[in-house]
Homo-oligomer: A and B are copies of this chain.
Amino acid sequence: MSAEETAAFLDTVQEEILALGEDLLHKADEESALGLERLRGERDRTVNQIKMFSNLVREGSWVDARIDTPQPDRKPVPKPDVRRMLQPLGAVAVFGASNFPLAFSVAGGDTASAFAARNPVIVKAHPAHPGTSELVGDAIARAVEKRSLPSGTFSMLHGMKPEVSIGLVTNPNVKAVAFTGSQRAGRALYNVAAQRPEPIPVFSEMGSVNPVFLLPSVLANHAEAVAEGVYRSVTLGVGQFCTCPGLMFAVEGEGLQKFEDHLAKQTEQGIPGTMLNAAVAKGFGSEFDKAASVPGVRVTIALRESDPQKTEGRPGVLTTEAQTWIKHQELHEEIFGPATVVVRCGSQAELLECASALEGTLTATLHGTPEEIESSRELLSVLNRKAGRLIANGYPTGVEVGFAMQHGGPYPASTDPRFTSVGAAAIYRFARPLCFQNFPDPALPAELQNANPLRIWRMIDGRLTKDAVPQ
């Protein structure tokens, strides 16, 4: 498949998804309760992601073409002509996520990036939205047919039993796995793949605690505004984002008290929201209760009770002291839903101690003046090692899809922090370099031919250029 054919296929996929129109949004809302507005935004994001990869592939330089020119007269041995570029890895198994029935599901970023790298894809549909999955799967299948591609380019499986997933991951033709979901399931797939006769990479993106550090000036001057921002981010989408900020750290004092009071007020007035399904709502309840029952933890919860008929999640805040948090592993784990834990530190040193006790996380956020952030070198140096993305004066929810995004962090945030599951760089999960030595020019892929017919960026003898190879 040429770059142009690949790009044209991706274009057709996104056209077919758009052609599903409102039917897709209504089906997704019926199955996820996420609401039409959110789902319209998610559909646009899904389509835009596919367009981004189509543009990336059409531009072509992503293949990291490298050419080392020969020196036939070199002593003691001639220097060969060596060229390399990225090639498809092979069939990719994609596991849809429940919390993004479009953007991280059948035609989400995993599928789009695997296609962009010219791999066939087999999707394991998430059982929480089988109808949405069928609609999108049919749209992809129509695109495969319209572009006259082999029917094996795309397939989809349904199934609740672990055997379906294990069978997919252990199939010898599958060469990589992408998963978004719980730590338990993500690690299980990783373990299965690592035990294959031929081990394969598993990119499990398993959610995260996303700590937020509130520095003194913010507590002194903007405690209420930040409390409102935090509350909005924690409860966005009923807290069902892997970037939901689940931990707050600050040094105790008047400012922190003001922040806590305001966050408590917001929380008490909070409205329970319908969660993705009964299992998610039940999981949220039990994770919240487990953390709330740790001695030394104070609980603030929305005054309005949740409606069990609607599988609602009720916003809640837990507050505790640094040493209690450090001692209790239950408080380090993600509570998947609209809740956060505020950790009061006795001093800056204790705040650093907390940062050091964090496990790997997708994001870490600092609120403070530019000068405060710049001078937080010790804290930043700890967080550098813990997170995939550092945010200043913002909130971790809302993952921008771009060239520079990194969505993936040290374990247990993901199984391989060297790769991202969001943004253009996600394509690198599904490609491997292939090297050609002393090959005749016409036998080389177009990307590596002397004339550079595709006009892509290439590294020739270590220098980036769009020029032809000097003859």
Contact = CB atoms under 8 A, between A and B. Distances in A.
Interface of A: 41, 59, 61, 66-68, 76-77, 79-80, 82-84, 87, 89-90, 190-191, 194-195, 198-199, 201, 360, 370, 373-374, 380, 384-385, 387-394, 398, 400, 402-406, 410-412, 415-418, 420, 424-425, 431-440, 442-443, 457, 459, 461-462, 464
20 contacts: A68-B402, A80-B394, A82-B400, A84-B406, A89-B417, A194-B199, A370-B443, A373-B439, A374-B440, A387-B434, A388-B432, A388-B433, A390-B435, A392-B438, A393-B438, A403-B459, A406-B435, A417-B432, A424-B462, A457-B464
Nearest to A41: B76
A367 to B, nearest CB: 11
A84 B373 contact: no
Can you tell how many copies of this chain the complex includes?
Answer: 2
B198 A411 contact: yes
Nearest to A436: B390
Nearest to A458: B404
Nearest to A373: B443
Contacts of A66: 403-404, 425
Contacts of A388: 432-435
Contacts of A83: 404
A437 B422 CA distance: 15
Contact of A68 (B59, B82, B400, B431): B400
A440 B373 contact: yes
Contacts of A457: 464
A462 B198 CA distance: 35
Nearest to A187: B199
A51 to B, nearest CB: 13
Contacts of A389: 434-437
Contact of A374 (B405, B435, B442): B442
A417 B84 CA distance: 13
Contacts of A425: 66, 433
A81 B393 CA distance: 12
A374 B434 contact: no
Complex A-B, nearest 10 residue pairs according to Cβ-Cβ distance, in ascending order: A370-B440, A194-B194, A406-B435, A66-B404, A389-B435, A68-B402, A374-B443, A198-B411, A391-B437, A68-B404
